[in-house]
Amino acid sequence: MKRGLFITIEGTDGSGKTTQMGLIRDYVRSAGCEVVMVREPGGTRISERIRNVILDPEYTEMSANAEMLLYAASRAQLVAETVRPALEQGKIVICDRFIDSTYAYQGFGRGIELGVLESVNNIAVDGIIPDITFFFDLDPELALGRRIASTATDRIENEKMEFHRKVHNGYVQLALKYPDRIRRIDSSRSVEAIWDEVRQVLGDIIG
């Protein structure tokens, strides 16, 4: 059986990726493909429990290394339980965040060496790498304005603006490093304009 397709969605909080993820799901389904939707951290019973710990705003004392390892544990379970089996069944997996988030947030944001992150996450992903990644690029200040409208924030969202600037820069650097896989999408435009660009990319991949 032909291997499925692994699509990941990246960007800072408030970049509009959730809206586009829903549009991607609907487009892929309309093409007659079976879709599996997952998120990180989370996506499985175990991973969702880990998510609750990672994002709980009360755990301000969490160290950068502990955060890194918790994300990796959540990812390892998600890959083993859901992502790999779905891909082996020929399904299209759409994941809200994946390994690029680790490099952007724990690497560029927290300052953990990228080599350390790579070593840990090589175990977590177990050879599973996205086929295509959409990076929804929005200036951190603009993203903050969108997040303010939200009624709830988590531990990561509560970080200072300097942290979010570092994360955004990390995403930009990753997009420059992996231009064939990561499609950088200007997310300051209207939902319709963003979707037109995303749809063109999807059309080239799945028709």
pLDDT digits (tens, 9 = 90+) for 163-180: 999 999 999 999 999 999
Q: What is the mean pLDDT of residues 154-159?
A: 91
List the domain range (segments joined by +) for residue 56.
5-206
For residue 207, pLDDT beyond 90: no
For residue 195, pLDDT beyond 90: yes
Cβ atoms of 74 and 96 within 8 Å: the answer is no
Per-residue pLDDT, 43: 97
CATH code of the domain in which 77 resides:
3.40.50.300
Per-residue pLDDT, 144: 79
**pLDDT confidence tier of residue 204, bands split at 50, 70 and 90:** very high
**pLDDT confidence tier of residue 145, bands split at 50, 70 and 90:** confident
Per-residue pLDDT, 3: 85
Q: What is the mean pLDDT of residues 151-158?
A: 81
For residue 152, pLDDT beyond 80: no
CA 171 to CA 187: how far, in whole Å? 13
Domain count, the chain: 1
Per-residue pLDDT, 150: 60
For residue 151, pLDDT beyond 70: no
Per-residue pLDDT, 44: 98
What value does the mean pLDDT of the chain take?
Answer: 95
**pLDDT confidence tier of residue 2, bands split at 50, 70 and 90:** confident
For residue 147, pLDDT beyond 90: no
Q: What is the mean pLDDT of residues 75-94?
A: 98
For residue 194, pLDDT beyond 80: yes
